[in-house]
Amino acid sequence: MSDDPKLDVRNDVPQRRHELILQNYHDLESGKGFELINDHDPKPLWYQFDAEFKGQFTWDYLEEGPEVWRVRIGKPA
């Protein structure tokens, strides 16, 4: 279990989820990360990160469904 803060967006409206996630990413210090908890595979979000922050983020699946997806998103040092 990590000490990373957790961002559970399962109860947020879908239109607001990416905004919340991106804000959490922007607020990260270098070398830190957070755990995203979602109700579906956030693969479209990965494509957005890859387009906007190529080489500036880490993405590690911790749990891959079918009910819950957990991804650690980090900002490399």
Q: List, in order, residues 6 or more apart from 72 with CB less than 8 Å away.
A: 2, 4, 33, 34, 35, 36, 58, 59, 60, 62
pLDDT tens for 4-55 read 999 999 999 988 999 999 999 999 999 999 999 999 999 999 999 999 999 9
Where do the domains of the chain lie, and which CATH numbers do they carry? Answer: 6-74 (3.30.110.40)
pLDDT tens for 43-69 read 999 999 999 999 999 999 999 999 999
Which of the four pLDDT bands, split at 50, 70 and 90, describes residue 1? Answer: low
Residue 31 to residue 23: CA distance in whole angstroms = 16
